[in-house]
Amino acid sequence: MISDPVALFRGELEHRFGPIKLCPVPDGRIHRFHVPYDRTGSRNGWYALHIDGAFSCGAFGSWKTGERFTWNSLKASHPIEANVLRQQLERSRHQREAERCQLQQAAARYACQLWSQAGPAEPHHPYLASKGCEGHNLRQLGGALLVPLYYAGQLVNLQRIHPDGNKRFLRGGQITGCYAPLGAPVTGQPLYICEGWATGATLHESTGASVACAMNAGNLLTAGRELQRRYPDTELIIAGDDDRQTRGNPGRAAATSAAQTLSIGLVFPAWPENAPLSLSDFNDLRQWREGYA
């Protein structure tokens, strides 16, 4: 019988996501990993594993789908054991929450520092050229584009997009509830909520409407709630991804669920009959149409 908590935790990860190339690090911090059925090079999976003597607990999930799971190494069979387990879990939760807040505050300070050092995005940056998008409000530092993420009106994180398309948020930075804005909301006009920045830029350029980029499917709901709070009189519409080749179509599922929960509008790309199944968002559709024409 396996008693190693790291092996047990890894087994739980593989039970949920399938075979993964990962040896969990039990330091209580958040780590990212590649989910087998995600796009090559993506690291949408996350986990945090904490070991305290004979007790181990962890949490893990996918930022793309919004799934979240918890795990612990104990099985209480007596009321006293159950009470001890609850106390240990609560202490671990408070510790992780305190560490998370510290990391987010440090990341927010670093984001402001990098943002102040950066200049306007180069119009011909390889990523912008590949997506056919203008730079809008992006900034650039070295070869990396900087996408600003706001929460409660404050800059709290950045997504750095490198020339090869590789994307990284600042370590420990807040993502949940944040969004990257394109244009200012206008009374009487819709505000679209989407996943990635290129999709948002495409919507903004095509419609002239303001857009909020939630950065991943799992954040559509929380970002939408924040936008409803900030702009109660604005019509919100989720412009979802349609991950037709991904198991469970997480983009469509998350967008549909968020729109239903928030009671707001919902749109997806309208695929022509001859559109390749590899296309999944509004930018993909525009780029394919322009290349196809």
* Percent with pLDDT over 90 in the chain: 63
Q: How confident is the model at residue 79, as a pLDDT? A: 62
Closest CA to 205 of 260, 141, 251, 137: 137
Residue pair 193/223 in contact (Cβ under 8 Å)? The answer is yes
The DSSP code sequence of 78-138 is: SHHHHHHHHHHHHHHHHHHHHHHHHHHHHHHHHHHHHHHH-EEPPTT-HHHHHHT---TT-
Residue carrying structure tokens 């939760």: 93
Per-residue confidence band for 134, with pLDDT thresholds at 50, 70 and 90? very high
Phi, psi of 32 (to 5 degrees): -105, 155
Domains annotated for the chain, with CATH where assigned, are 5-105 (no CATH), 177-293 (3.40.1360)
Residues near 271 by beta carbon (within 8 Å), at least 6 away in sequence? 242, 279, 285
pLDDT at 167: 92
Which residues are within 8 A (CB) of 195 and not within 5 positions of it... i.e. 6 or more apart? 213, 214, 215, 216, 217, 220, 240, 241, 251, 281
Q: In terms of residues, how long is the chain?
A: 293
Q: Greater confidence, 156 or 88?
A: 156
92 pLDDT band, cuts 50/70/90, is: low
- Is the predicted pLDDT of residue 86 greater than 70, yes or no? no
